[in-house]
Structure formats: C-alpha cells, structure tokens
Structure 1
Amino acid sequence: MHKGYINCSAVFGAITTYSQQHTVNIFYKPVTVTLVQETKPVSEGNEVIMDCAAECNPSPHTYSWLRREMGQNDERNSTQRKMTFSNITRHTSVSCIAHNNIGAGQSEWLPINVPYPPEILPESSCSLTGEVLMCVCLAEAVPKASIEWIVNGNDTLPSSFTSNSTHMENIVSGEIRGPVQSQITVFCIANNSLGNDTKQLAINVTKSSLLLVDHKKTSNCQTQAELREMQMRTALQVFMTMIFWRKCVDRLNSTRLTQCSKDKTKFSLRMRNITEPVVRSEVILSVYIITFLIGLPANLLALYAFSVKIRSKPLPTDILLLNLVISDLLFLTILPLKMHEAASGLIWNLPNFLCSITSFTFFSAIYTSSLLLMAVSVFRYIGIAFPITYRQLQKPSYAILICAIIWFMSTAHCSITFFIQHHPSLSNNNTTACYENFTKKQLDILLPVRLEFFIVLCLIPLLICIYCYLQCILILYSRPRISPMKKQKAIGMALGTLAVFLICVLPYNLSHVVGFFQGSSPKWRYYTLLLSTFNTCIDPIIFYFSSSAFHCTGEKSIFRNCRLHASQLHNQATGSSQ
C-alpha cells in the first residue's frame, strides 16, 4: 500500500462524529521504473534522449544510467531523470536505476529503435547435392528486409525452383531450392526503405554420401532421385536452421537479453554483476566453503586449548592469541552470509543492514589479525632480547590493554563501511551488490582512507614483524645453549607469521595503493580478497608455534592432559586386573 487515507470517529450514545480524512505519507523505494525514448526515430551515429520515470516516495535523488553494446557495459550517474546518449548504434540498449532514501529500482533493458539498411550475414550460402541446389540468404535490417534472387543473371526464378522466407526479430531468412544441370551463379539481394545489400553466394558441393539408400533394393532411378532430394533437403534444413538460430541468439544476447527472462529486472542486474568481477562466483563460493570447513574446527580447537591454558597464569602471548582466535571465529561466523552472496551470483538478496554488519566484521577481522600478530612478534622479541623487561610485562592487564587498543583501532577504521553505505549524502541504495559498485562521491572518500589502511594497518605492522622476528632468529642462533628444537620452533613461528602477512594481508592492501592512483578499485582485487580469507586457516599454525597450549611439554597442554588422562585410565585398569 503506497497511498493511504485515515480518519477516526467518536461515538457517544446514538451520535457518531467523524473526523476529516487525512492522507498518509508512506515512504517506499522505486517500485515501477520506466524508461522512455524521447527522440524518435534515431539514426546510427546520432544521439538519443532517454527519460527515466520512477514511482516512489520520496522522489529519486540519483539515477544510474546503464548502457550495453555488444556485451560491453557502461555506467554513469546523474541527478537528472533525463540523459542524452550519443553515437547510438543498432546494438545499443539502455537501462536506468532510480535511487531514493529508501532503496533502488531498475527498469527493464530498452533496445534503442535504430533503423538501418540491410546487411547480408556471412552465414548465407548455397549447397549443391547431386543435381539439387539449395540456397539460404540471411539478412538483418530495420525495417524488415525483403529478399530477391538472381540466378544465372535472371531475376526471375526458374519454374522448377521453390522459394520461401521466414523472419525473427530483425533477421529475415530467404530460401530457394531446385534442380540444376550445369554451372550456376546465385546472387542474393536484400532491400528495405533505407537501402539494399547484394552478395554472391558461395556454392558448396557436397557428396552424395548423405544418401542411405540401398541401391540393390532400388531399381527405379526416379525413386532414387526423389529419395536423394528428400534426404538432402532434410539435412540442409537442419544445417541452415542451426545457423539461423545461432545468429538470432547471438544478436538477442547482445541487445534483448532481458526479453528472454521471466523476471527481467533481476536477470539484467545479475548479468551486470557477473560481467564485472574477474573471479567467477563459483570460485569465490568454493574458497569460502574450503576456508569454513578447515578454519572452523581448527579455531574451535584453538579456543578450547587457550581456555584450558588461560585458567592458570596466562602469558601475554596467550591472551593475544586468544583474541586472535576470537577474531577468526567472528570472521567465520559471517562467512555463511558471504557464501549466500556468492551462491546468488554476487547479488545481495539479504537486508541492507546485514550487508553493513557483514562488511564491517569481514574487514575488521582481517585487520585485527594483522595487528595482533604484530603484537605477538613484539612480545616474543622483548622476551628474548630483554628478559627482565619481559617479566615486568607479564601481567595480564598489559596484554588486555593492548588487545583493547587493537580492537578499537581496527573497528574504528572499518566503521567506514557504515559511513559509506548509510550517510545521506553518500549512500548508494543499489541493493544488487554488497559494498561494491561505488559512486564517484564514495570513491573520493574511500580511496584515500584505503591508502591510510595500507600504511597504518598493513605496512607498519609488517615492518615491525620482519624486524622483530629477524632479531629473534639472530639472537637465538648466537646462543649455543639453546636446543635445536627451540630454534626450529622460532623459525617456524617467524615464517608462519610472515606467511600470513605476505600471502593473506599484503596483496589485498596493495590493491588499495593501486586503486588510489587509478581512481577505482582494480579488478584483481577479488583475487587478493580470496587470499585474505585463508587467514583463518594459517593462524592455527601460528598458534602451534607460539603457545605451549599445543605442545606436550606444557603443564596445561590439552594434548598432555589427554595423554595423562589416558595413562591414568591404563594404570587403573592394570591395577584392577592384578
């Protein structure tokens, strides 16, 4: 209900009094978006004025104009409901998306009605089998073309020839068939009010092997000729029909794609989103599923291990790694929503507020992980290089304070996702994609912020990690009393942490730098974002090398506890048997 009226009545005894009727002002997103071609007719190479009318309340504040031509899409934004498109061709189709403060709605794709002279398609040809000739001429034109034939220089067909024609959309198919006994030339002429096109058709001589007639059983030559002609006609009709329909489908796919769908608006939006990403939605969905299946059990095991370890006197690295586990689990919690988006062809069909929450959690978890890994590297370096200072920092309050600062930094930075999507002057209510397809105003703010992300949340933590772990390795190898196992553990921890940065964090953040200088998000950003999802799978490796909770030597190790519990059960069983 987009329009409503309300009134009230008061009853006192037998008297009823009615109030005045008031109109209810109901706000709703564009529900009926219609595109009208104002300039009629329009020739190829000229311009056309399109008018986008939308039924909504309040009125649209922004219009996104989409132009599609031979599979290539172009988009521009405007605050005006009318838009002029230049250099129109016969393959141009236009659609518009109207945005108001409630949502967005898209019109159907409208092919521009462009008259043009006939063009004989290259699939036109003749086929000669035995003494029977069959020719097909395909011509595309607006208005529809008529087909004429010239056989051996005569524009009148021989009396033994038959002809017919069919058409679909802008393509006309003319066909002639008849017997020939000598060399022959065939011309096809296509005419309409704008001009004509003439082409000499190539004659392909085919073998009579199409015949499946048993000559031993057929003695009548006339019967054999009739069978030959019938089988040749059937084979050629199938062949020419395949060519004709393939050409029609190709033309329709480029200009009238939405006319072949029941739900035209959603189908056109899906095609627009599919053509933009470099990575197919099936690949994205596969990566998300693999990450979820590996990362969830690994991080749940890590959560249990640290919960056991944290009951005793926890080390600062244990508290930091526990927060890293929580960050990864938050990431895995919203990953099913990203799976739903990928399974829907990268179209966001869920409520808009879930898109904001998903984007906020998705990116916050990535940057929280990088900052926590940096903090772990600093504590490990202090513990090796400055053991006295490290003992003073073993109070849990210090680690908790550092974790609070890290969570605040990452969430404060990633709150840009709410600002970009919900600020009145920046919001783009195009619900077909989640946190993608930004407007120029959004990119003017988002690209500099992303560059700051790269410097503060990626580059600085990466340099600190490299310095700390290189120093740790050098110090450990300079001390001969340290066992090779501890040295190997230190190398594994350093390589694992740097792998997370170099494989999962750095490539995605480099796309921020490239996007800042290009003025738009690079297409390969999708690849790097998929690498970032593997962060939750690599982090458990860091847990193994960084905490005694995963080793049999620690007093609170889950594996040690399990082994001790198994030994106690074995001793009890042995004692009872004795």
Structure 2
Amino acid sequence: MINLGISDSLFIAFLPIKMAESARGGAWTLPAVYCPIYLIFHFGSIYASVLFLTALSVGRYLSVAFPIRYQMYKRPRYSCAVSLGLWILVASHVSFIFLVEAAGGGGQGGAANASVCYGNFTGAQLDLVVSLRLELCVVLFLLPLAVTTCSYLGCARALGRSQLPRRKRNKALRVAAATLFLYVACFAPYNLSHLVGYARHENVAWRHDVLLLSAANAFLDPLVFFCSSSALQRAAKVRWHGARQWTGARKERLTRFWHSAISREKGPGVDLPRPASPSP
C-alpha cells in the first residue's frame, strides 16, 4: 500500500509538467536533457501502480483463500523484497527511453528535440519504440491484468464459500469488483494504444488523450482503499465527530461573544429578546 502511494504521488508530482506541455500544444520548453528524466518518472509511476495493484490483489486472494497459512508466512522482509523486485522490474523496462535516444544518435528526431519531447521519431527510432511499447504492454500490463483478474475471481469464489456475514461478504465483493473495474478502465486504453501503434507501425496521436484515464487512477486509488479499510473508515468517523465538536464549541463561543457585545452596547439592565416558547 505504501509503495502504491509512492508511485501515485510520483505521477501526481510530475503531472504539472505534462499539463504545461499539453497547454502549449505538445511543445517542450524545458532543456532537452530533462525530457528522458521526466519520462522515466512518468512511465515508471504508471507501471509501478499497475504492478503494486497486482501485488495487492494477490495478497487479498491469499488472505481470503489461505488465511492461516498467509498470516504464518506474512513478514515485512518478504513484502520489502517483493516491492524492491517490482521497482527494479519497472526501472529496467522504462530505461528503454535512453535506448531511443541512442538510436536517434542525438539528431533532430531524438526523444527530446528542440520542440517536442518523445514525439517526433526517426524511422530507426520508431522501429524500436513500437517494439518496446509492445513489450511494456505485454509484460507490465497484460500479464499483471491476467494475475489480477484470476486473483479477484479467486477471492469471489472463496468469499462465496466462506461463513462470513452476508454484509461483510458483499462489501468485500463490491470492493474487489470496483478495484478490478478501475484497473481495466484506467490502464487498458493507454496500453491499447501500444498494441495499435505496433500493428500500424506508427505513433498513434490519441494515446495522449487516454493518458488522462491513467492520471485518474492516481486520484481514485485512495477512494477505493478508503472504502475497503474499516480502520480508515473508523478513523475518519472519529475525525469527523471531533471536527463537529470543535465547530460546535467555536460556534457557541461566538454566539456568547455576540450576545455579550450586544448587551454592552444596549447598556446594563437591558435584557436581550428571547425567542418565544413553542405553543403546547
């Protein structure tokens, strides 16, 4: 969960650069050396979110299907090792950006030329880009999608056979269905552009539009996991109740101050009008 939050935060942190680029019609106004660095964090955060959502789905399935054995083998060092492995997997794949730079030989068609970042490719670059995008789609999306789908279907079967109360079982099923729906809706269109680009051997123009759905995932993930965590919901209720008490106390103090101010203005011995008591 922490690593998913880190990947979503990285994506949001670099999102203003993408917004500024889109507002200028795709023109890259920063120095060319920053383009590959920006793209590494941009693509890396997207696919890191995919992999960590997959890891969470596997963890949920194991906790439902094999609760006792899962708790026996659940250790922080194992989680850290898996997280580190996923980060290394993402970093090794997004490093293809530097391969694109090398294929362009530093010419005008490089990943970052004078006006466009990762948009105008030479023939040699395009051959490499469409192939590597296909590899990204298969390894970092289609395979995790298959694992995630199987995990949540396994969760549904295990919950159907469990003795949990119906209310808790239905809540868990709704959370699983919502998470899987967001997973597909946010990441599938962008990765579909990789498949279309490979089939047509071109840099499809609408891939920048469907990237907005991937951006939405960074904002929807916290909502989904808030709904799935009873501890977070209880903490939110406590905070909300405390905020209401604090607001009520401040409101009462302001009311008393207002009445005392009116009393001083009217002088001593003058009572404030009181609201009429309701008729019996």
Shift of 1:423: 5.7
Give the one of 508, 519, 536 matched to 2:190: 508
Shift of 1:386: 0.9
Q: What residue number does 1:490 align with? A: 172
Q: What residue number does 1:392 align with? A: 72
Equivalence map 1:284-303=2 (5 Å): none
Equivalent position SS for 1:534 = helix
Q: Where in structure 1 are there 5+ consecutive unaligned residues? A: 1-320, 570-578
- Aligned in 2, Cα 1:567/1:501: closer, same or farther, shift over 3 Å? closer
Tell me the distance in 1 between the aligned counterparts of 2:156 and 2:100. Answer: 43
Q: Whose radius of gyration is greater, 1 or 2?
A: 1
Equivalence map 1:293-442=2 (5 Å): 321-421=1-101, 425=105, 428=110, 430-442=113-125
- Kept after mapping to 1: 8 A contact 2:61/2:155: yes
Higher relative CO (Cα under 8 Å, sequence separation at least 6) belongs to 2
- Kept after mapping to 1: 8 A contact 2:104/2:122: no
Q: Where in structure 2 are there 5+ consecutive unaligned residues? A: 247-280
Tell me the distance in 1 between the aligned counterparts of 2:230 and 2:121. Answer: 46
Cα deviation per residue 1:179-202 (whole Å; 9 max; x = unaligned)? xxxxxxxxxxxxxxxxxxxxxxxx
Shift of 1:454: 1.2
Tell me the distance in 2 between the aligned counterparts of 1:426 and 1:384. Answer: 53
- Aligned in 2, Cα 1:419/1:503: closer, same or farther, shift over 3 Å? same
Higher share of residues assigned strand? 1
Letter in 1 for 2:210: T
Tell me the distance in 2 between the aligned counterparts of 1:408 and 1:344. Answer: 34
Q: Is 1:562 matched up with 2:242?
A: no
Q: What residue number does 1:119 align with? A: none
Structure 1 residue ranges, 4+ long, deviating more than 4 angstroms after superposition:
563-569
Give the one of 449, 454, 465 matched to 2:137: 454
- Aligned in 2, Cα 1:452/1:435: closer, same or farther, shift over 3 Å? same
Tell me the distance in 1 between the aligned counterparts of 2:106 and 2:152. Answer: 43
Shift of 1:471: 1.4
TM (normalized to structure 1)?
Answer: 0.40
Q: What residue number does 1:180 align with? A: none
Cα deviation per residue 1:480-527 (whole Å; 9 max; x = unaligned)? x31233223222321222123211111111111111121112232222
Q: What residue number does 1:544 align with? A: 226
Tell me the distance in 2 between the aligned counterparts of 1:390 and 1:532. Answer: 31
Question: Considering only aligned residues, what root-mean-square deviation do their CA atoms show, in Å?
Answer: 2.3
TM (normalized to structure 2)?
Answer: 0.79
Higher share of residues assigned helix? 2
Shift of 1:530: 2.0
Equivalent position SS for 2:221 = helix
Shift of 1:338: 1.1
Shift of 1:547: 3.3
- Kept after mapping to 2: 8 A contact 1:420/1:426: no
Shift of 1:546: 3.9
Tell me the distance in 2 between the aligned counterparts of 1:546 and 1:369. Answer: 18
- Kept after mapping to 1: 8 A contact 2:48/2:86: yes
Q: What residue number does 2:254 align with? A: none
Tell me the distance in 2 between the aligned counterparts of 1:406 and 1:560. Answer: 35
Give the one of 147, 151, 154 matched to 1:471: 154
Shift of 1:566: 6.9
**Matched positions, count:** 244
Give the one of 123, 127, 140 matched to 1:444: 127
- Kept after mapping to 1: 8 A contact 2:8/2:45: yes
Equivalence map 1:248-263=2 (5 Å): none
What is the aligned-residue identity percentage? 38
- Aligned in 2, Cα 1:467/1:545: closer, same or farther, shift over 3 Å? farther
Equivalent position SS for 1:551 = helix
Tell me the distance in 1 between the aligned counterparts of 2:152 and 2:226. Answer: 16
- Aligned in 2, Cα 1:488/1:426: closer, same or farther, shift over 3 Å? farther
Q: What residue number does 1:195 align with? A: none
- Kept after mapping to 2: 8 A contact 1:490/1:545: no
Tell me the distance in 2 between the aligned counterparts of 1:355 and 1:328. Answer: 20
Tell me the distance in 2 between the aligned counterparts of 1:384 and 1:551. Answer: 21
Cα deviation per residue 1:444-489 (whole Å; 9 max; x = unaligned)? 112111111111111111111111111111221222x312332232
Shift of 1:431: 2.0
- Aligned in 2, Cα 1:548/1:396: closer, same or farther, shift over 3 Å? farther
- Kept after mapping to 2: 8 A contact 1:508/1:528: yes
Equivalent position SS for 1:373 = helix
Tell me the distance in 1 between the aligned counterparts of 2:124 and 2:240. Answer: 61
Tell me the distance in 1 between the aligned counterparts of 2:193 and 2:245. Answer: 55
Equivalent position SS for 1:437 = coil
Tell me the distance in 2 between the aligned counterparts of 1:354 and 1:499. Answer: 35
- Kept after mapping to 1: 8 A contact 2:103/2:125: no
- Kept after mapping to 2: 8 A contact 1:473/1:487: no
Tell me the distance in 1 between the aligned counterparts of 2:240 and 2:132. Answer: 51
